């Protein structure tokens, strides 16, 4: 439980820091750095994705990679499995999490309505 709270605080602070007002008024008034936040998330995800499956055999198919993502990686990050994995058998996969921990607080009221696009725009 404490790890989840710490992770949520870290995530909130990172998003808030990268969406702070820009002191240069000529640039539109807001410093948006989603590429910086995205690159941090990519590097952390890549490191986890490389370290977690060390003792497992190599993945032979992309479906094996997605199963690893839904079960092992998701559990390591969010302490729960994903709710669903669907495919149309043409290369499109839909990963479903009905209670995604980073978005659940925003569903509880209007106070988060302004902040929601900042957090969910990349997912």
CATH number, residue 100: 3.30.1380.20
- Report whether 36 contacts 18 (CB < 8 A): yes
What does the pLDDT read at residue 19? 65
What does the pLDDT read at residue 1? 47
Residue 77 lies in domain: 2-120
Residue 119 CA: distances (Å) to CA of 68, 105, 113: 25, 11, 11
Q: What is the mean pLDDT of each run of 10 residues along the chain (123 residues)?
A: 70 74 54 68 84 84 86 85 85 84 69 62 46
What does the pLDDT read at residue 58? 84
Q: What is the four-CA torsion angle of 22, 24, 25, 31, rounded to 10 degrees? A: -30
What's the pTM? 0.60
**Distance (Å, rounded) from C-alpha 53 to C-alpha 66?**
13
Q: How many domains does the chain have?
A: 1
Could you give the 3-state DSSP secondary structure of residue 60? coil
Query: Per the structure block, which two tokens stand in for 36?
Result: 């910086």
Query: Per the structure block, which two tokens stand in for 118?
Result: 């900042």
């Amino acid at each position: 439980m404490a790890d989840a709270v710490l992770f949520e605080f870290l995530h909130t602070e990172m998003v808030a820091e990268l969406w702070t007002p820009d002191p240069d008024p000529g640039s539109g008034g807001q410093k948006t750095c989603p590429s910086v936040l995205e690159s941090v998330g990519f590097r952390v995800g890549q490191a986890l994705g490389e370290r977690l499956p060390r003792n497992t055999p190599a993945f032979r198919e992309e479906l094996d990679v997605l199963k690893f993502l839904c079960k092992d990686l998701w559990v390591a990050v969010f302490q729960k499995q994903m709710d669903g994995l669907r495919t149309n058998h043409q290369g499109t996969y839909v990963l479903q999490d009905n209670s995604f921990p980073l978005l659940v607080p925003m569903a509880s009221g209007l106070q988060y309505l302004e902040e929601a696009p900042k957090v969910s725009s990349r997912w």
